[in-house]
Structure 1
Amino acid sequence: MRLEKIFYISILFWIVTIIFKSRFFLHMIQLQGYRNEEYRKWIKTSTKAYPKRMKISLIVLTIILVFQMIYTGYNKNNIVLFLFNLLWIVSIFYTFNFKREESKKELVFTPRAKRLYVSNFLVNFLELLILFMIVKKLASDIIIYMPVILYGLFIIYFLQSGNIILANIIVTPVERRINEYYYTMAQEKIKSMEDLNTVGITGSFGKTSTKFIVDTILKEKYRVLKTPESYNTPMGISKVINSELTKDYEIFIAEMGARYIGDIKELSKLTNPKIGIITSIGPTHLETFKNIENIMKTKYELIEELPSDGIAIFNYDNEYVKKLADKTFKEKILYGLENTEKLDIYATDIEVSELGSTFMLKDKSGEEIKCTTKLLGKHNIYNILAGASVAKALGLTFKEIKRGISKVEPIPHRLNIINPGTGVIVIDDAFNSNPDGAEAALEVLSQFKEGRKIIITPGMVELGDKEEEANREFGISIGNVCDYVILVGEKRTRPIYDGLKNSGYDEENIFVVKNLDEATSKLQEIVKSKDIVLFENDLPDNYEE
């Protein structure tokens, strides 16, 4: 085969690798909300951005290229050129991961993702064009400079994690205009629906569960539309409003997520809520918020944006939410389990088991009713109380609220029981663990009287400076409940291990594995009939050991 054909085949092979490599980095920046700053932080901490194999290959190719230029100069030596081409192909094969990794949250080719993907190809094409123009200036016969071209292609391949940033910068003005268009369209649509009541829900945790609960209860009386899954950004909510919200609906429930000050204000101006709920405030997303005070300020933006006749609903048992409730002079509803004399809606006589919970729902007027729910954990009682508070504000009776509560189904990956029929019970709490949720999961696990208790966890993330301390305390709590512990990731779970060790836990019952596959294998070695296995948290795809 002629050298020219091998060279052009190599370029085609390079294009294929770029397609797959850029797709991976598109996924990673999508997980970071297309924010370049957050994505850069991921690059700095991730081994996947610049893998060790890629660095080794780059060093080897650099040494060989320099040696080849010194040894042969720019003379056309077909054997040398062929060998360099072969080495280049081997380097690509050595560094490219041909095995498609399973993702917890798959890449979604939204219109924005498609535009960014195309923009990224334009960046690669421009870099390729510049490379060829430089070489063309230097020599009439491009094949003589083939090693230089291949080396340049490897550099472009090496810099794919950075190219997606350049591509994102290019499309940012376009995205801003598109976002403003759909945001304004959704905003005007909401304003035009005078009979619509919007319920805004925010909090450090419990937002999604509360949204599903509110939706189920309110459907006892109203026609309700809620944002699906974890749609809690301006573009996600705008999409729902523009495509799904019609005048047939009487209630719109919007979950509101935030990573920066001002995020909730933007969502509130979009959805125009008349009822606002703050479910909780805790040390989540501290990597971006920096401190609890900023989180409090951001969550309170929802209450500030309520109209003068709006209703603010607070979880009064949360110390940070309580402070916000106490400074609020709009109409408000306080819910909780403690200091009931100060509460508008509360629960007593709570009985929590592995099958669900029962409790007495009460209000400050003295009305009460016994309720039953399939949901597990004390923290879900708080979420139900939030739902009951909204229902009460919108005129539902206690009987309607009770009926709605009984219909609430467990949400996947949020403390729901799976019985596969093998004699082993699985508790799936794999979604985005936090200190309160982790304690609730352990409480549910402790309710089981038979069988050994096994936990599989990679620990908690996105807690900023408090992450190590929270995971150490988590380890101590685990030691009080579990018979066996499988920790996923040695470095990240070190604080949990230390907490277990310091509490006197038997280290022979602690197993540290690299990934979930190894955890499953280890589980199969130790698990027996009647055992209960808790999966607590599953790290996002952009987190690694």
Structure 2
Amino acid sequence: MIPVSCGEIADVVGGELVGVDPAAVVDGAVVIDSRAAGQGGLFVALPGENVDGHDYVGTATTAGVTASLTTRPIEGSPCIVVADSQRALGDLARLVIGRLPDLTVIGLTGSSGKTSTKDLIAQLIRPYGETVSPEGSFNNEIGHPLTALHATGTTQYLIAEMGARHQGDIVYLTGITPPKVGLVLNVGTSHIGEFGTQDNIAVAKGEMIEAVIPGGIAILNADDHRVAAMRTRTQERVLTFGEAPEADIRAEGVKLDAEGRPAFTLHIGDFSGDVQLRFIGEHYVSNALAAAAVAAAIGMPAEQIAAGLNSATRVSAARMELTERSDGVTIINDAFNANPDSTRAALKSLVAIGRSRGARTWAVLGEMLELGDRSGEEHDAIGRLVVRLDVNRLLVVGAGAKPIHLGASLEGSWGNESAFVDTIPEALELLRTELRPGDVVLVKSSKGAKLRSLADALLPGRDELSKFAERDELSKSVEDVQ
């Protein structure tokens, strides 16, 4: 972070200095995990459902932070006391970004594919200029400002992934980091339980386009009619991507190789070049085109963009992560998160890989969360799709996902083609008993359904179900807002 005095921080966040010299400077990392606290940094104490960050202020003080941002004084520790430490974190990030006039903020949102696209953008543009990109899926009101605070005076590009559960969430986040380049990937059904309709989701995602600063560029998906319609929500330049003939950044001749990895011809203006992605799934074509559009928007040569796409690799775990075991079983771990759109894409990739190998395919599916009144309908539809795609075996895990099993049964699944179990240990026992060499297994669920632990347990050297610890000391996650 750029150096900021405690007095300046107190002024901008409306805080009271307790045991802090106003001239003391914060020039280290801003953290919410006391284990990451260090010399000259700032510890932000956030209250959680199970753990209160205020209990760790003393640890952060011992680690050498200049001060802690708290909602109450902590004896023996220098504090900037505020009414709402989470809101103050955002206010501080807004101050820092406002002092970096040469910084280009690249904001992106969408119902699915944000983190994978963010990773692609970062790999493309890092050779072009110093870049800050979020860890994992740091895309909400906590993770977003934490990412922004990594920007310094030498940072040229800040990639700002932004999620939303409510109208106005993206308005708040773009208020912290106003985008010069604003990208909307798609409008799906993620969090439809909160928004009610896809049209309402489109209103929320379009807040990104409205926030593009004067002289900036809005990037829209030409293949998604709700996204394409957002061009009316900005007066700035619009750049489109997709497979549609009218798209500015376009893919032509998409095909999948034996591992389910897409190849296509990339068109950018007068340039055309071959791209072979190293990612599994046809849905990565749209992600790659979106990343290419961002790179083109900041002035990267088309040849460099194509080369970057060809060399890009998977960064974030549990997103179509393919592992071949020594016994010939292939595990596709896509259990970081799930919604109906991403689950359909993953199933189609599973079938393509199985077909190319002549292998038996398994879909191991858990609940897709936050679908509201449409939950039963959406899960049922996935079960029916599994049958229509001719996936060989379906294993449904958890009561919330049971309509997938019922949908498959009603669609014509028979015998043991579809099975339902209540718990992850039961699923693991069934798979260990019935998997055979050559099988291809997709594991997919929302993060809260915890099938990532099942996928992990199926990997080499893992005999027990793993328990994924939170990376910070708070129960409130900095990740995974869609």
Pick the TM interval, shorter chain.
0.7 to 0.9
Distance 1:422 1:176, change over 3 A: farther
Cα distance in structure 2, aligned partners of 1:119 and 1:406: 43
Q: CA RMSD in A?
A: 2.7
Confirm whether residue 436 of structure 1 aligns to residue 344 of structure 2.
no
Question: What's the offset of the Cα at 1:175?
Answer: 6.4
1:157-172 equivalent positions in 2, closer than 5 A:
none
Tell me which moved more, 435-444 or 267-276.
435-444
Q: Is the 8 A contact 1:501 1:507 kept in 2?
A: no
**Bigger RCO (CA 8 Å, 6+ sep):** 2
Confirm whether residue 393 of structure 1 aligns to residue 297 of structure 2.
yes
Residue in 1 that maps onto 2:401: 493
Confirm whether residue 380 of structure 1 aligns to residue 314 of structure 2.
no
Q: Is the 8 A contact 1:355 1:374 kept in 2?
A: no
Identity %: 28
Confirm whether residue 503 of structure 1 aligns to residue 408 of structure 2.
no
Cα distance in structure 1, aligned partners of 2:431 and 2:450: 25
Confirm whether residue 200 of structure 1 aligns to residue 134 of structure 2.
no
Distance 1:176 1:349, change over 3 A: farther
**Structure 2 residue matching 1:438: 3-state secondary structure:** helix
Residue in 1 that maps onto 2:261: 356
Q: Is the 8 A contact 1:220 1:404 kept in 2?
A: no
Encode CA deviations 1:188-239: one digit per residue, 9 max, x unaligned. 2212211110000111111111110110011231111111111112332222
Q: Is the 8 A contact 1:316 1:325 kept in 2?
A: no
1:451-470 equivalent positions in 2, closer than 5 A:
451-470=359-378
Encode CA deviations 1:363-396: one digit per residue, 9 max, x unaligned. 3x33211111111111111011000000011111
Confirm whether residue 332 of structure 1 aligns to residue 238 of structure 2.
yes
Residue in 1 that maps onto 2:457: none
Cα distance in structure 2, aligned partners of 1:528 and 1:199: 46
- Which blocks of at least 5 consecutive residues in structure 1 are unaligned? 1-106, 122-167, 169-173
Question: What's the offset of the Cα at 1:349?
Answer: 1.2
> Taking structure 1 as the reference length, what is the TM-score of the superposition?
0.66
Q: Aligned to 2:386, which of 463, 474, 478?
A: 478
Residue in 2 that maps onto 1:418: 323
Residue in 2 that maps onto 1:532: 440
Residue in 1 that maps onto 2:465: none
Residue in 2 that maps onto 1:221: 128
- What one-letter code is carried by the residue in structure 1 that aligns with 2:397? V
- What one-letter code is carried by the residue in structure 1 that aligns with 2:128? K
Question: What's the offset of the Cα at 1:115?
Answer: 10
| Structure of greater Rg | 1
**Structure 2 residue matching 1:462: 3-state secondary structure:** coil
1:78-97 equivalent positions in 2, closer than 5 A:
none
Encode CA deviations 1:512-544: one digit per residue, 9 max, x unaligned. 11111111110111111011011011550699x
- What one-letter code is carried by the residue in structure 1 that aligns with 2:91? T
Question: What's the offset of the Cα at 1:317?
Answer: 1.0
1:254-293 equivalent positions in 2, closer than 5 A:
254-293=160-199
Distance 1:246 1:478, change over 3 A: same
Residue in 2 that maps onto 1:245: 151
Q: Is the 8 A contact 2:260 2:282 kept in 1?
A: no
Q: Is the 8 A contact 1:457 1:486 kept in 2?
A: yes
Q: Aligned to 2:210, which of 304, 314, 325?
A: 304
Distance 1:181 1:246, change over 3 A: same
> Taking structure 2 as the reference length, what is the TM-score of the superposition?
0.74
1:102-113 equivalent positions in 2, closer than 5 A:
111-113=45-47
- Which blocks of at least 5 consecutive residues in structure 2 are unaligned? 1-31, 35-43, 56-70, 72-80, 452-482
Q: Is the 8 A contact 2:181 2:212 kept in 1?
A: yes
Cα distance in structure 1, aligned partners of 2:177 and 2:447: 31
| Bigger proportion of residues as strand | 2
Distance 1:409 1:542, change over 3 A: closer
Distance 1:326 1:216, change over 3 A: same
Cα distance in structure 2, aligned partners of 1:507 and 1:177: 56
